[in-house]
Amino acid sequence: MKFQKICVLGLGYIGLPTASTIATHGVRVVGVDVNPLVVNSLQNGHVHLYEPGLQELVDEALKSGNLVVSSQPEPADAFEIAVPTPFFDDKRADMTFVSSAAEAIVPHLRPSNLVLLESTSPPRTTVDLVVPILEKSGLKAGKDFFVAYSPERVLPGQILRELVENTRVVGGITPASAQAASDFYAIFVQGEIVQTDATTAEMVKLMENTYRDVNIAIANEFARLADRFGVDVWEAISLANRHPRVKILRPGPGVGGHCISVDPWFLVEAAPDLVNVIRAARQVNDSQPPFAAALVQRALGSLQGKRVAALGLAFKPDVDDLRESPAIEVVHLLLKAGAQVTVYEPFKTDFTIPGARTAATLSEAVKDVDALLLLVGHSQLNGLDPVEVAKMTRARVAVDMVNGWQPAGWQAAGFDIYRLGVGSEHAS
């Protein structure tokens, strides 16, 4: 199947890189977003989110004339839905954006079109939710037009490279739909394109992120055990990982972002009677911020009135994405316990948390505090020179949640260092 014009619905971390990549491969793309601020900003050439290389790619796509940004879908050969699937407070998937995007396609759907869902979704969403909406057009899915699900699996921070290089799983509601989706991705994917059915493709995505969540949960549980038994978990993990079949991940203040902390809940919702390990892992990772906050409390005696510089707020290193960030949750807990917190996020220096002070620079953040708290292993925070930092602050307590700071260097610079997952006899 040949594609001359494509309509991408949702211009976030997935939709915008995909739309721009396709446009730079010589295909006309209409990028659609319901948020007028996003549309406005992109129409003026400004990318509203941070991903390395994305601004340059969008510049190139807009300059080529192949990418246009609009608030409305238009008739096209293929429609790609790349909208968010958040969850409600009770952890049920909120499919409103997917439904609205499918509804918005209906008036423009023509015979032989391809509709692709990329949003992470509970099993059977494509066949049970999306297809019935699209069939309101009067056309029959699988017969008059093609429908497929293809999970995106790109890693924030490396999206542009992974979008092109990763293996792509495409699940069609029929084999012909899977083939149409393969033809679509062949426009820009250099990795392998593997065909399956739509529900398997949905499951694959959920299984990948759940697998990672469970593995991080066990690392976090090891950190708690190490803390109790006077062991340095980082040393223990690096030794265990010398076993040829063991690869323990990194403990930290919790699991954030819009994927790994969300997707396993879709499986819990879909089959609550079957998911003991998956549910427990989610609970362990969700209860990691209180464990991290308790370590700060231990370092400072009491938190009441203590001044803490919280360094890093993003959900993981070297990205500006703050969604579901455990670092923010730790700050909330410290504030609740009476601490006065100054936050510094180098990738979003104007981000505010109610009750906390926002610092625009590191020196402003650490100036007048009792403790430094490393919450995210951003390269520039890991790389701080403790001797230089000691000159900027009166604090002599440093708490490291991510194993970003070499304890010996910080101790030599006069700091008492506390580390997540390191029992007390290793702490100083």
The residues carrying an active-site annotation are: 205, 259
- Name residues contacting ligand SAJ, limited to 16-75 (CB under 6 A): none
Annotate 255-291 with b (16+ C-beta within 10 A) or e (fewer). Answer: bbbbbbbbbbbbbbbbeeeebeebbebbebbbebbeb
Q: How far is the CB of 206 from ligand SAJ (least distance, A)?
A: 9
C-beta closer to ligand SAJ: residue 109 or 233: 233
- Name residues contacting ligand SAJ, limited to 257-276 (CB under 6 A): 257, 259-260
* Measured distance between the N- and C-terminal CA atoms of the chain, rounded to whole angstroms: 64
Owner of token pair 């700060």:
296
Helices 288-300 and 198-229: angle between axes, nearest 10 degrees: 20
Q: How far is the CB of 286 from ligand SAJ (least distance, A)?
A: 12
396 contributes a contact to ligand SAJ by CB under 6 A: no
Q: How far is the CB of 45 from ligand SAJ (least distance, A)?
A: 26
313-352 footprint of ligand SAJ as x/- string (CB under 6 A): --xx------------------------------------
C-beta closer to ligand SAJ: residue 77 or 152: 152
C-beta closer to ligand SAJ: residue 24 or 120: 120
CA distance 399 to 369: 13
Other C-beta atoms lying within 10 Å of the C-beta of residue 53: 12
Other C-beta atoms lying within 10 Å of the C-beta of residue 65: 9
224 contributes a contact to ligand SAJ by CB under 6 A: no
Choosing from 156, 404, 407, 421, the residue that interacts with ligand SAJ (CB under 6 A) is: 156
C-beta closer to ligand SAJ: residue 3 or 222: 222
Q: How far is the CB of 265 from ligand SAJ (least distance, A)?
A: 13
CA distance 307 to 372: 9
Q: 147: Cβ–Cβ under 8 A, 6 or more apart, which residues?
A: 114, 115, 116, 117, 126, 130, 131, 134, 141, 172, 173, 177, 198
Helices 276-286 and 263-270: angle between axes, nearest 10 degrees: 140
3-state DSSP call for residue 161? helix
Pairing of strands 78-81, 168-172: unpaired
Choosing from 135, 208, 221, 364, the residue that interacts with ligand SAJ (CB under 6 A) is: 208
Closest chain position to ligand SAJ (CB)? 259
236 contributes a contact to ligand SAJ by CB under 6 A: no
- Name residues contacting ligand SAJ, limited to 160-199 (CB under 6 A): none
C-beta closer to ligand SAJ: residue 108 or 332: 332
Choosing from 83, 105, 130, 216, the residue that interacts with ligand SAJ (CB under 6 A) is: 216
Q: How far is the CB of 66 from ligand SAJ (least distance, A)?
A: 25
Choosing from 154, 334, 395, 401, the residue that interacts with ligand SAJ (CB under 6 A) is: 154
115-144 footprint of ligand SAJ as x/- string (CB under 6 A): -----x------------------------
Q: How far is the CB of 56 from ligand SAJ (least distance, A)?
A: 21
The answer for 124, left when phi > 0, alpha when psi is -120 to 50, beta otherwise, is left
81 contributes a contact to ligand SAJ by CB under 6 A: no
CA distance 201 to 85: 16
212 contributes a contact to ligand SAJ by CB under 6 A: yes
Q: Are 59 and 26 in contact (CB under 8 A)?
A: no
Other C-beta atoms lying within 10 Å of the C-beta of residue 85: 20
Contacting positions for ligand SAJ (CB under 6 A): 120, 152-156, 208-209, 212, 216, 249-250, 252, 255-257, 259-260, 315-316
